[in-house]
DNA sequence: CAAGCGTGGTC
DNA sequence: TGACCAAGCTT
């Protein structure tokens, strides 16, 4: 069915214009130096749903901490999560770590270049599979991300909703036809670079576009209306409490979150989903804490309020200070630590504001 | 398939 | 200032 679109389309010109433009105009980015499959892989996972400017410092630090696939494979997950702290979507870090360990053990430390094998690793979806195999190994595989869908929807004037999973498959088939098999890496990166620098979501700079002559949306003047993307539901609000609980030595109680779901395996201050509007409900909070940790506590004061916005929900956190003279039983994932030890644990950004409050105290 | 899963930048 | 966005994957 795509042949119909391709028939009158100057495929050769498009490929040459795009690849030549990329070779001349590409940005100088850290992961474009001394490329190895390992480094390409790290960068591609970090870049999932994340801006280049945000990734750069994380990428540099990550490679200093884990300079080789073997180094990452042998690292503790807590160290990996700590290196990922603040970058978001933390399952990326845990899946990457797990996948790298699998490559280390099963493939003797060599990133597999068979699409089927590489694609089966944790955290490697259709995009990452194509991106790593084309960039690192020169395989003519499609790497369809948001940029590519935006660029090609304009080039070919495709009005399908790019928020639908089905639409990505359509673009993958299209790229399989269009891709420059002599320069798969430059072609794929060229599409993404074009989307990042020229064919931007709002007010694309068509006058500087190397493939303007091949763009149907430009010739029809509809580039600003593409791509079509349905919007998702607004996040729901959750009323939360958190407690800064000190023992008699002034140490702070923290705990590790569950190994699945939101912020999995990160650490946090004890918290509950509950509304506090009166003093009686502070007593309820006290009861929750005493039940959770089987100790007696006193809530001493209200510390601060935090509003934290996730992609799919909003936390409104009321933070209190509390003290206890009891010790908790030593359970894995719960412990008292002193102020200086806090920096050794990975915390979500929402709780960084609590840490700031403690350190400024 | 739709929803869950983070964060910081932008206009 | 709130909505949208940024090189997606998993369930």
Q: Can you give the distance from the CA of residue A126 to the C1' of nucleotide C8 in angstroms?
A: 9
Which residues of A are known catalytic residues?
A: 44
- DSSP-based three-state secondary structure for A360: coil
- pLDDT number for residue A231: 83
C-alpha pair distances (Å), A87 with each of A16, A24, A112, A132, A256: 36, 31, 27, 21, 18
- For residues A244 and A108, give the distance between their C-alpha atoms in angstroms, rounded to a whole number: 46
DSSP output for A63-81: HHHS-SHHHHHTS-HHHHH
- pLDDT number for residue A300: 95
Short-list A90, A147, A153, CA closest to A123: A90
Residue nearest to nucleotide B6 (CA to C1'): A88
Residue nearest to nucleotide C3 (CA to C1'): A234
Q: Is A146 exposed, middle or buried (0-12, 13-18, 19+ CB in 10 A)?
A: middle
Looking across all nucleic acid strands, the nucleotide with the smallest C1' to CA distance from residue A51 is C6
- For residues A158 and A296, give the distance between their C-alpha atoms in angstroms, rounded to a whole number: 63
Is the separation of the CB atoms in A268 and A254 below 8 Å? yes
Q: Can you give the distance from the CA of residue A49 to the C1' of nucleotide B10 in angstroms?
A: 16
Nucleic strand C under 7 Å from the C-beta of A231: yes
Q: Can you give the distance from the CA of residue A226 to the C1' of nucleotide B9 in angstroms?
A: 22
Q: What nucleotides of chain C have any atom within 7 angstroms of a protein Cβ?
A: 3-10
- pLDDT number for residue A279: 80
Between strands A313-323 and A267-268, the pairing is unpaired
Looking across all nucleic acid strands, the nucleotide with the smallest C1' to CA distance from residue A148 is C7
For the domain with range A2-225, which CATH number is right: 1.10.340.30, 2.60.40.10, 2.40.70.10, 3.40.50.300?
Answer: 1.10.340.30
CA A334 to chain centre: 27
Looking across all nucleic acid strands, the nucleotide with the smallest C1' to CA distance from residue A88 is B6
Divide the 361 residues of chain A into consecutive groups of 10 and give the mean pLDDT of each group. 67 95 96 96 96 96 98 98 97 98 98 97 97 97 96 95 94 96 97 96 93 94 93 89 95 96 96 87 91 94 94 94 90 93 96 94 79
Looking across all nucleic acid strands, the nucleotide with the smallest C1' to CA distance from residue A262 is B5
Q: Can you give the distance from the CA of residue A342 to the C1' of nucleotide C8 in angstroms?
A: 31
Is the separation of the CB atoms in A154 and A162 below 8 Å? no
Structure tokens at A106: 């099963």
A236-360 sits in which CATH class? alpha beta
- For residues A231 and A338, give the distance between their C-alpha atoms in angstroms, rounded to a whole number: 45
Residue nearest to nucleotide B11 (CA to C1'): A202
H-helix or E-strand containing A180? none
Tokens 């923290």 label which residue? A254
C-alpha pair distances (Å), A287 with each of A1, A290, A294: 65, 5, 10
CA angle (A189, A200, A212) in 5-degree steps:
75
Is the separation of the CB atoms in A214 and A291 below 8 Å? no
Q: Can you give the distance from the CA of residue A350 to the C1' of nucleotide B9 in angstroms?
A: 18
CATH 1.10.340.30-classified regions of chain A: 2-225
- pLDDT number for residue A232: 82
Residue nearest to nucleotide C7 (CA to C1'): A47
């Amino acid at each position: 069915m795509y042949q119909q679109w391709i028939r009158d389309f100057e495929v050769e010109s498009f490929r040459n214009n795009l690849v030549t433009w990329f070779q001349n105009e590409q940005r100088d980015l850290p992961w474009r130096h001394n490329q190895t499959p390992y480094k390409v892989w790290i960068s591609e996972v970090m870049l999932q749903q994340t801006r280049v400017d945000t990734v750069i410092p994380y990428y540099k630090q990550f490679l200093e901490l884990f300079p080789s696939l073997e180094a990452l494979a042998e690292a503790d997950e807590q160290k990996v999560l700590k290196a990922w702290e603040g970058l978001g979507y933390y399952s990326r870090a845990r899946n990457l770590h797990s996948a790298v360990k699998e490559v280390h053990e099963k493939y003797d430390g060599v990133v597999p270049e068979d699409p089927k094998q590489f694609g089966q690793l944790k955290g490697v979806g259709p995009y990452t599979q194509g991106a790593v195999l084309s960039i690192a190994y020169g395989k003519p595989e499609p790497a369809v991300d948001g940029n590519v869908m935006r660029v090609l929807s304009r080039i070919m004037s495709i009005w399908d909703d790019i928020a639908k999973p089905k639409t990505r498959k359509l673009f993958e088939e299209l790229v399989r036809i269009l891709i420059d098999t002599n320069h798969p890496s430059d072609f794929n990166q060229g599409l993404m670079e074009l989307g990042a620098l020229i064919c931007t979501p709002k007010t694309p700079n068509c006058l500087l576009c190397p493939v303007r002559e091949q763009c149907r949306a430009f010739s029809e003047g509809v580039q600003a209306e593409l791509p079509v993307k349905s919007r998702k539901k607004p996040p729901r609000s959750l009323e939360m409490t958190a407690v800064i609980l000190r023992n008699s030595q002034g140490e702070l109680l923290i705990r590790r979150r569950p190994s699945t779901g939101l912020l999995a395996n990160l650490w946090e201050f004890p918290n509950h989903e509950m509304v506090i509007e009166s003093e009686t409900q502070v007593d309820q909070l006290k009861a929750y804490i005493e039940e959770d940790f089987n100790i007696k506590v006193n809530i001493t004061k209200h510390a601060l309020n935090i509003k934290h916005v996730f992609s799919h929900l909003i936390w409104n956190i009321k933070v209190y200070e509390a003290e206890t003279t009891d010790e908790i039983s030593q359970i894995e994932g719960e412990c008292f630590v002193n102020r200086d030890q806090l920096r050794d644990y990975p915390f979500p950004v929402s709780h960084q504001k609590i840490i700031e409050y403690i350190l400024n105290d």
